[in-house]
Structure 1
Amino acid sequence: MRGLIKVPRALSPTQERKLVDFLDAKFLDITRNFKKRSDPSSSLQSLPSYLTETHKLLSFILQIPPIDPSTSLRTTFLLRLSGDAMESIPGYKPDVQILSQLLDWLNDLDRGWLAVLRSQTWDPEEGTGRDIIVDTSEDGQSTVRSTPMSQTERTRLRSLLISGTAKLEEWLEKLDTSGETYDILLERLGLQQGFDDLFSNTLAEMGALGGSINVPEGMDGTC
């Protein structure tokens, strides 16, 4: 049974403006440092540093209350982060030592999207979504509204995840495996199943056929 949490307070227009300004600045800072990652002045010279910094951003975005009119902000910024990350991660040299941290990051993103798709609030301590206990008025109608993701947003998300897993597969093929294939290496490290099941929760929630990193094709089911 999914955990429950009392309905969070909606953001005021002023809070929303401050939130957007803050997140825009954070994205800009991450983009700048990623682009100059080969420069000693960059704070994101390595993939571990990139994952650490963007994980903070991921957690912050997920805590945006899924209550209208703020619901769309969480979806919009999470789509932005997902797209940026899927483009940026392959920009670093693949290293066996960071695969476990990368898999944890991707799994957190998967759980985050699952919460968004279910219109759940985010529990940062447990790293999972929680169903909202919705207050009702005297006539039995809900006093809050959480607009679900649109079909356009779901289609974009699905495209991001499928193309992203394909890019990650190409990236993993560049690992220094000392003669092994990368999938044998992942199996030996106990990471193969995790990478095979990337975004399986999110894709299953949207009605996709699966989330295997090794099977980007064949996922043309309805969202």
Structure 2
Amino acid sequence: MTSVVAPEPQPVETGSQNATTTVRTLSPVQERRLVDNLEERFLGITRAFKKRTLPSTSLPTLSSYLDATHTLLALILQIPPVGRPASLRITFLLRLTGDVMTSITGYKPDPETLSQLLAWMNDLDLGWLAVLRGHVWDPSAHAAVEVISDTAPSPMSQTERTRLRSLLVTGTERMEEWLEELDTEGEDYNTALERLGLQQGFDDLFVSSLSEMGGFSGTDPEGMTGTC
């Protein structure tokens, strides 16, 4: 989605903590086109997910679902975090987070797809960290880039932060229950994850975004400290 980046941005030092880029807000026409595009994509994914058990579906497996929603994730994260579009980025990312955390458990857990799932969740975590800090997301580097703009990035409201925390915590709890359904031939699923080298990754789900919101501190108003 190249329209969200200024025509002549400053160079981005990929992977550098000091990387910066220049952004501009969207015009009303661009904003309407963006919303229409995202709504169409959401609708298409929802329809395909509901038909996931039918031969005609385009999303028959968790892997195919993760591929489709990852494209949507990258598109949403590239919405500029300044002006009116900033609220669209937050709104659509909250919507995607809720949809994905609910929908993945609609598929049978497959050990061969768990690495892809963990990578998806890691991108979501880092994406939310970028949003919480008002940064731009560089999809090629899978990293946040600090914004240079005449308009200050729009922060998330406390209500939005509370909603996000709830989605991440309850979604993680649901995923833990779902992982218990893994076909491990009698092996405990935690042991299976350890053998696959994935246990630590699942233990650390959303550690970056929850830490940024104070989800692991003693000041957590929701009493959710350490639940992930």
TM-score past 0.5 threshold: yes
Tell me the SS of whatever aligns to 2:145.
strand
Taking only aligned residues, the RMSD between alpha carbons, in angstroms, comes to 1.5
Contact 1:4/1:133 (8 A) holds in 2: no
TM-score by length of 1: 0.90
- Please state whether the residue corresponding to 1:130 is helix, strand or coil: strand
- Output the CA distance in 2 between the equivalents of 1:124 and 1:95: 27
Query: What amino acid maps onto 1:155 in structure 2?
Result: T
Normalised to the residue count of structure 2, the TM-score between the two structures is 0.88
User: What is the rounded CA distance, in whole Å, between the counterparts of 1:193 and 1:150 in structure 2?
Assistant: 31
Q: Does the CA contact (< 8 Å) of 1:10 and 1:69 recur in 2?
A: yes
- Tell me whether 1:158 sits opposite 2:165 in the alignment: yes
Q: Which residue number corresponds to residue 200 of structure 2?
A: 193
Mapped to 2, the partners of 1:173 and 1:80 lie a distance apart of: 26
Deviations 1:12-55 (A, max 9, x none): 01100110011001000000000010011100010000000000
Could you tell me how far apart the structure 2 residues matched to 1:14 and 1:5 are?
Answer: 27
**Whole-angstrom CA distance in 2 between matches of 1:209 and 1:183:** 23
Match for 1:24 among 35, 39, 42? Answer: 39
Question: Counterpart of 2:66?
Answer: 51
**Regions of 4+ moved over 4 Å:** none
Match of 1:68 among 83, 93, 97: 83
Asked if 1:171 corresponds to 2:211, the answer is no
Cross-structure match for 1:14: 29
Q: Which runs of 5+ in 2 are unaligned?
A: 1-15
Alignment of 1:1-223 (within 5 A): 2-134=17-149, 143-209=150-216, 219-220=224-225
Q: Structure 2: which amino acid aligns with 1:149?
A: M
- Tell whether the 8 Å contact from 2:23 to 2:148 is kept in structure 1 after alignment: no
